Structure formats: C-alpha cells, structure tokens
C-alpha cells in the first residue's frame, strides 16, 4: 500500500520506535507483553502488510539485531555464576539437553510416521532444537519475574544455542547417511565443535580482558562505553572467526559476573543502554515475518509447529524429573521454550545448502514457525511464569 513512500534511514528508525511504543501500550491493555506489541508493529510496517519498511532497509538494519543479541547474551551470562551451579549442579545442562533432544526426535518420528521422506524428516527435525532467547528475556525483564522457574529458564535458553548446534550436526550426519552420501560424522561435527568451544574459550578470554580497564574507569559513562565496546568487539570477533556470537558474549558476561565485584552495577548500566536497541530489534524482527509463507507449509509445517512444542515440553519435564527439581519447574518450564527465530532461520539456510532439494520447503516451514512462535511465545511465557507464581502484577 505504502511501498512507494520514500523515507530515509532516520525517519524509518524513528517510525519503528514510535510504532513499537504505541503498539506496546495497546497490547498491554489486553495483558500481553510489550514484545508482542513490538512484533505486531513491525509486521504492520514491514513488507507483508503496509510495506513502509523495505526488505533492503531491513537487511541493512541487521546490525541492530546483532547488537541486541549481543547485549542479551551478555545479560544471560550474568546468570552463570559459580555459586549458582554449586547450588543447582547439572540441572540446567540436563534439561537443555533433554528438551533439545526430544524436540528433534518427536518431529522426526512424527514426520516419518506421516510417510515423509526419512532424510527430509531428519533435516527438518534437526532445526527443532533451536530456541530464541530474546523474547523470553524481554518478558522476564518487563515483569521482573523472579524464582526457580525463571532462574532455570534463563540458564536453559542460554545453553540451548550449544545443544541445538550439536543436535543439528548429528541429525544432518544421519540424514546424509540415510540418503546414501558418504560423509563422516567428524566432517559435520567439527565446525559445530569449533563454533561452540571457540566461542566459549575466546569469549571467556575477552571477559578477563574486560576486567582490566574496569579498575581504571569508575564513572558510569566510561563503564557504559566499555560495555558497548566489548560487546561490539565480541560480535566482530565472532563474525571473523565463525564463532557463535551468542555463546561468545554469554561467556564474556559469565566471566565478568564471576570475577567483578561490580557486576550488579554493570548490569544496571547495561539495562539503561538497551531499551531502544531491544525495541528496534523486535520491530525489525516483526517486519521480517512473512505472512505469504503460511499457505505454503502444508502438513509437514503443521506437524513441525505443533510437535516441536510437544517435544520441548516433554523433554524439559523429563529433565526436571531426572534432576528432581521442584514441581513448578516440571510443569511450567517447557511452555516458556516456544520462541524460535534467528538461529533456526540460519540453520534452515545451511540445511538448504546441504540438501538443495529440500531447501525451499524447509525455509518456508521455518519462516512460518518463526511467525507463529514469535507472536504466540511471549504470551505463553508470561502465562507460564505467572502460573508458577513468579510474576506478580
């Protein structure tokens, strides 16, 4: 409708902020999280509806998304304190592994039972493990959720990036073997291992380097500059080295959280920087959602969208049972793992390169899933945390 309306970058950004704020206030009236309003504002402004924000602009604005994810990962790293793991042990690791594993297994089995090609089923299922932490973090921050479910959820979504990459590598290796391709698990697993452990090791090293200037720069303004500078450096290094930027910034944040006595003040400063970045990120994410792909997904898409959620919930509950956690974690953690976005879309592109015949269909299904999960997920996360008694309005 408005595709011929010419705006410049700054007016586009201003429009995104004002539309996001307005829609965030509107959805608040019906008890939905702000992030849902931001996504809806973006959807309205984007190519799927009004077309005010062009695809070229959104592509150029990807730097905002990268920055937002860097701050989110740094914030998540704050949850990985040594004292926390002394208290809970391996619980987050077990739950993250179980929810990722069963999301993949359930989707693969369901697709095969509906007589889809085995290799296709495995390739699509490989992406089911991925979870998007951004919307979850926004809900937790908005409602100041606090308690064992929230604490475990933050740890699980942080670990999910690593478990998703591992599950993807294994599933793709099996799919290639099933389709008759001669390829070793080592060839497929090695890039994932480098991406995960390289990010953790170099990110941790960056965290120790971060500690050095903190001794000399005490003023809030200087420390804000240090936070932004190190997160940007982490994103740049991750991109250059082929590491996971989420894991890199998370490892950096974890080191700072464990070895800096000023971590609480640093996180307060980080929270003062991020509101407009996060708002722009979610409006841009909403603008990227494509309504036109919904009619193209077919039965496979419906199976993926529904069964992935069942697998996540079952796996999270089983992991909680195995670790003998309290009942609220068993009941309410799984539904909060619905959101899926950037990592899944990235894996769909890689899967399309590995299996070109399946590429277009897999990408359509993942894009449709992203549209549904991102719009529904924040509300479900809020409802789950509220039922657990960790959100008090």
DSSP letter at 146? -
Contact 173, 188 (CB under 8 A): yes
The whole-number pLDDT of residue 17 equals: 93
Euclidean distance between CA atoms 118 and 95, whole angstroms:
27
Distances (CA, A) of 309 to 93, 102, 273: 19, 10, 33
Euclidean distance between CA atoms 250 and 245, whole angstroms:
8
Contact 172, 188 (CB under 8 A): yes
Token duo for residue 24: 């965030």
Euclidean distance between CA atoms 132 and 195, whole angstroms:
18
The whole-number pLDDT of residue 209 equals: 93
Element (H, E) at 375: helix 359-387
Token pair 């609480």 in the structure block, residue: 264
Contact 273, 223 (CB under 8 A): no
Ramachandran angles phi, psi of 340, nearest 5°: -150, 135
Euclidean distance between CA atoms 67 and 74, whole angstroms:
11
| pLDDT tens digit sequence for 365-381 | 887 887 788 888 888 88
The whole-number pLDDT of residue 1 equals: 46
DSSP letter at 7? -
Euclidean distance between CA atoms 322 and 160, whole angstroms:
18
Ramachandran angles phi, psi of 40, nearest 5°: -65, -40
Averages of pLDDT over runs of 10 residues in the chain (393 residues) are: 59 91 88 84 87 84 83 82 79 88 91 87 84 81 86 83 76 73 61 78 92 88 92 90 83 90 86 87 81 76 90 91 88 85 72 76 81 83 88 73
Euclidean distance between CA atoms 34 and 7, whole angstroms:
26
Q: How far apart are the first and last CA of the chain?
A: 39
The whole-number pLDDT of residue 307 equals: 92
Distances (CA, A) of 92 to 79, 137, 334: 11, 16, 13
The whole-number pLDDT of residue 318 equals: 92
Contact 325, 385 (CB under 8 A): no
Q: How many CB atoms lie within 10 A of CB 105?
A: 19
The whole-number pLDDT of residue 47 equals: 86
64-280+295-387 architecture in CATH?
Up-down Bundle (1.20)
The whole-number pLDDT of residue 4 equals: 45
- Maximal CA-CA distance, the chain: 64
Cβ burial 334-349 (10 Å sphere, 16+ → b, else e)? bbbbbbbbbbbbebbe
Give the global pTM: 0.77
């Amino acid at each position: 409708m408005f595709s011929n309306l010419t705006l410049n970058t700054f007016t586009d950004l201003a429009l995104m902020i004002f539309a996001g704020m307005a829609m965030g206030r509107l959805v608040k009236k019906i008890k939905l999280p702000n992030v849902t309003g931001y996504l809806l504002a973006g959807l309205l402004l984007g190519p799927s509806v009004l077309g005010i924000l062009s695809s070229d602009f959104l592509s150029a604005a990807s730097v905002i998304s990268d920055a937002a994810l860097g701050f989110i990962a740094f914030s998540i790293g704050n949850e990985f304190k040594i004292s926390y793991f002394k208290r809970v042990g391996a619980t987050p690791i077990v739950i993250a592994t179980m929810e990722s594993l069963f999301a993949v297994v359930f989707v693969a089995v369901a697709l095969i039972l509906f007589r889809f090609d085995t290799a296709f089923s495995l390739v699509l299922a490989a992406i089911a493990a991925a979870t998007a932490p951004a919307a979850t973090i926004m809900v937790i921050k908005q409602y100041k959720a606090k308690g064992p479910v929230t604490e475990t959820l933050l740890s699980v979504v942080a670990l999910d990036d690593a478990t998703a990459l591992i599950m993807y590598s294994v599933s793709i290796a099996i799919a290639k073997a099933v389709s008759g391709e001669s390829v070793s698990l080592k060839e497929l697993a090695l890039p994932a291992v480098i991406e995960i452990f390289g990010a953790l090791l170099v990110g941790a090293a960056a965290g120790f380097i971060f500690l050095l200037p903190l001794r000399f720069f005490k003023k809030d303004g200087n420390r804000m500059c240090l936070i932004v500078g190190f997160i940007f450096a982490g994103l740049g290094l991750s991109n250059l080295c082929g590491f996971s930027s989420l894991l890199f910034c998370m490892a950096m944040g974890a080191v700072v959280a464990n070895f800096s006595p000023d971590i609480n003040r640093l996180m307060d400063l980080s929270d003062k920087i991020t509101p407009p970045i996060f708002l722009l990120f979610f409006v841009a994410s909403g603008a990227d959602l494509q309504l036109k792909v919904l009619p193209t997904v077919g039965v496979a898409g419906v199976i993926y969208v529904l069964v992935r959620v069942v697998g996540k919930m079952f796996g999270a509950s089983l992991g909680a049972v195995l670790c003998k956690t309290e009942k609220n974690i068993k009941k309410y953690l799984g539904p909060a793992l619905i959101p899926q976005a950037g990592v899944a879309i990235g894996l769909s592109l890689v899967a399309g390169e590995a299996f070109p015949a399946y590429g277009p269909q897999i990408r359509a299904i993942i894009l449709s899933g992203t549209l549904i999960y991102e719009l529904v997920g924040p509300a479900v996360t809020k409802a789950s945390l509220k039922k657990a008694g960790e959100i008090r309005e």
